Homo-oligomer: A and B are copies of this chain.
Amino acid sequence: MTDEPSDEDWSPPLVMLAVDLVILTVRERTLRILLVERGVPPFAGMLALPGGFLGDEAEDVRLAATRELAEEAGLDATTLHLEQIGAYGAPARDPRGRVISVAYLAIAPRLPDPVPGSDAADARWEPATAVLSGQLPVAFDHREIIADGIEQARAKLEHTTLATAFCHENFTITELQHVYEAVWDLRLDPRNFARKVRRTEGFVAPAGTPRRTGSGRPAQLFQRGEGRVLYPPMTRATTATVTGTPGEETAG
């Protein structure tokens, strides 16, 4: 962050700053992402990530993300998990000019559908696989952002307790398993999974009501433990893909 050496009166170029939100949830045992239909050009009518430009020159970037989370998705940032994915700054990524976008990953428990007539009326929960496969096209470079965000979530499920962010305050081991299965897109053995979860210190803690409705034997309820790091980590099959740096290829 030293200054340019040469010209005395050189001044850095100015760019526009945007935030984009990769909001994930699990519905019908499937990982889903919240997308909105664009109403105006460019890419009018196409699906895109919720997001927008910095509100004013003094707005914090993360605050812009929480604001858009409320405005475009009707979600309360204090409720859900929110972390940064990275910056995307390819010169031609936005036809309106030089736009650098800071992408955020948000994790939400299963929620009611976006209410028609509300701010988030044109928002839809779409299956993640449809976007990743390219079957469902999205605007800008959003497919790349989504891929990075999902990979970040998948990786964090391995060695952090992020999976509990997909659950409500109280949840069963089976519900937690469904999170792993949906995000990783694979099946796990319930017995081994339960053993692993319970033996991992700080992952879950028993919750008040020891039972719950259902069709089989009632399941015990848990809440997130005090730990944030899983040791030893949960392991997904050896099919892991190395995650590049967000927004670009990795050199070297």
Contact pick for A83, options B50, B102, B245, CB 8 Å: B245
How many copies of this chain?
A: 2
Q: Complex formed: what's the CA distance from A229 to B235 in Å?
A: 13
Closest beta carbon of chain B to A226's beta carbon, Å: 12
Q: In the complex the two chains form, is A252's CB within 8 Å of B89's CB?
A: no
Asked if A173 CB lies within 8 Å of chain B CBs, one says no
- The chain B residue sitting closest to A148, CB to CB, is B84
Q: In the complex the two chains form, is B87's CB within 8 Å of A86's CB?
A: yes
- The chain B residue sitting closest to A139, CB to CB, is B1
Q: A1-B51, A4-B52, A159-B240 are in contact. List 10 more A-B contacts (CB 8 A).
A: A13-B17, A13-B53, A13-B56, A15-B17, A57-B91, A80-B252, A81-B250, A82-B252, A83-B245, A84-B247
Closest beta carbon of chain B to A168's beta carbon, Å: 13
Across-interface contacts of A238 in B (CB, < 8 A): 231
- The chain B residue sitting closest to A235, CB to CB, is B232
Q: In the complex the two chains form, is A2's CB within 8 Å of B61's CB?
A: no
Asked if A167 CB lies within 8 Å of chain B CBs, one says no
Q: Complex formed: what's the CA distance from A62 to B90 in Å?
A: 8
Looking at A20, A61, A82, A104, the one whose CB has the most chain B CB atoms below 10 A away is: A61
Supply 27 A–B pairs (Cβ within 8 Å), ascending by A: A1-B51, A1-B101, A2-B38, A4-B53, A12-B16, A12-B53, A13-B53, A13-B55, A13-B56, A17-B100, A58-B91, A59-B91, A60-B90, A61-B90, A61-B100, A62-B247, A62-B248, A77-B251, A78-B252, A79-B252, A82-B250, A83-B244, A86-B87, A87-B102, A100-B100, A229-B240, A231-B235
For the complex, would chain A's binding face be called helix, strand, loop or mixed by DSSP majority? loop
The 6 residue pairs across chains A and B that have the minimum distance between CB atoms: A83-B245, A61-B89, A12-B53, A14-B14, A81-B252, A87-B87
Q: Complex formed: what's the CA distance from A27 to B187 in Å?
A: 45
